[in-house]
Amino acid sequence: MSEGVGPEDVQAIIDRSPYLTWLGLNVLSLGGERISASATWRPEWVANPDRGQTQGGILAALIDFAANFALFEHMRRPVLTIDLRIDYHRMATKGNLVANGHVVKLGRTFSVCEAELLDEAGKLVASGRGSFLTSDA
């Protein structure tokens, strides 16, 4: 890991961002081109009150966050998402989630990262892969 870069650096960015704070994100670990963060469930996430289903956009946002911030050791900042694909594997209901992201390919212009989202039982809820702008331009 790059010297001086740690989970507290990502948490500081989260704590300054109203949206990321609203998602209830807390960094669990950062290192080895990987990140893990928990997301605290909130009632506003519910899309279908009859089923208690979490809205898919929330799941996509958590996947985007984890894939993007897997690059933090190299970039030391959030980067722009170029493309993002999400696969929904099972319905997420009331409960905290864990987002795990890792770098697949680090590039000078763009990089590819993947992320998975787990429910409180450790079951896969959603996964995704994205391309992220890693040039200085």
What is the model's pLDDT at position 136?
81
- The 10s digit of each residue's pLDDT in 65-107 is 999 999 999 999 999 999 999 999 999 999 999 999 999 999 9
Nearest to 7, CA basis, from 72, 75, 52, 97: 72
Q: Record the tokens describing residue 56, joined without a space.
A: 């898919």
Domains parsed from the chain with CATH numbers:
7-133 (3.10.129.10)
What is the model's pLDDT at position 38?
98
| Side-chain half-sphere CA neighbours of 53 within 13 A | 10
Q: Whole-prediction pTM value?
A: 0.94
CB 118 within 8 A of CB 60: no
